Structure 1
Amino acid sequence: MKHLGKMSETEMEVMEVIWELSTPVTVNQLLEIFESKGWKTSTLSTLLKRLIEKGFLTKSMSGKVNYYNPALTFREYKKYETQSFLGRLYNGKVKNFIAALVDEDELTQDDITELKEWFKREEGKK
């Protein structure tokens, strides 16, 4: 997967709406959805431009209207962020992450039991 930029909280909020809509979206549609924020067209256009530059959106034009589409699914984004997080903090290893949680008493015995059951189910799928 290509390298993506980092999203701000506001950019993530916009992307979550776009992912949820699952259809090309226009600035006017987004302005209606985010009406409570009081954003101007220029504010939203700037956010969308940044999301394009960071690799999260693509833009197409029909007539004089711009349509914005996600460049990746939410699932693909979560996978990318997870791999990036693991790479930066845990040498790319899930085991190191889980060990850190166990070492810091972040996982309860119930969590561990649930994970063991999940691993058994996953093992049975192969």
Structure 2
Amino acid sequence: MKNISDSEWKVMKVVWDKNPILASEIVEALSSDTDWNPKTIHTLIRRLVAKGALKAEKKKTYYNYSPIVSEKDCVQAETKTFLQKCFNGSLNLMMANFIKDDKLSEEEIDELEKLLHSKKSR
């Protein structure tokens, strides 16, 4: 599947939350969060169908849209792209960057330690 743009991600989130879903429902959901007109949203939907991210199923005079790809799979693909683009694919460099530059709370540090411990004990 081709990369999904930031705008297309917004459409996908609506579809992942409720599917199958009508285009009019997608337009309604995004109109309150964005300043996009309905034509823009319909264009984004068509692009996602062309990219193989959404399935369009004709029902009488309208289409139902469903995700072909899961949110988890898309997040994993985007994470790999981000890692490759920014850190030459190195998870260690990314983690070191975030840990050095961000102020982590005790709770966040504890959670990271738990995740690492869990991964190590597997």
Q: AA paired with 2:5?
A: M
Number of aligned residue pairs: 119
Q: Any idea what SS the aligned residue of 2:101 has?
A: coil
- TM (norm. structure 1) is 0.74
CA distance in 1, matches of 2:91, 2:66: 32
CA distance in 1, matches of 2:86, 2:36: 38
Q: Is the Cα contact below 8 Å between 1:5 and 1:55 reproduced in 2?
A: no
Instruction: Determine the structure 2 residue equivalent to 1:57.
Output: 54
Structure 2, unpaired ranges of 5+: none
| Distance verdict in 2 for CA 1:107–1:24, change over 3 Å | same
Alpha-carbon offset, residue 45 of structure 1: 2.0
Q: AA paired with 2:69?
A: L
| Distance verdict in 2 for CA 1:34–1:120, change over 3 Å | closer
- Aligned Cα RMSD in Å? 2.5
Which contiguous aligned blocks of 4+ residues in structure 1 show a shift greater than 4 angstroms? Answer: none
CA distance in 1, matches of 2:30, 2:102: 37
CA distance in 1, matches of 2:110, 2:40: 48
Residue 88 (structure 2) pairs with residue 91 (structure 1): yes
- TM (norm. structure 2) is 0.76
Instruction: Determine the structure 1 residue equivalent to 2:22.
Output: 26
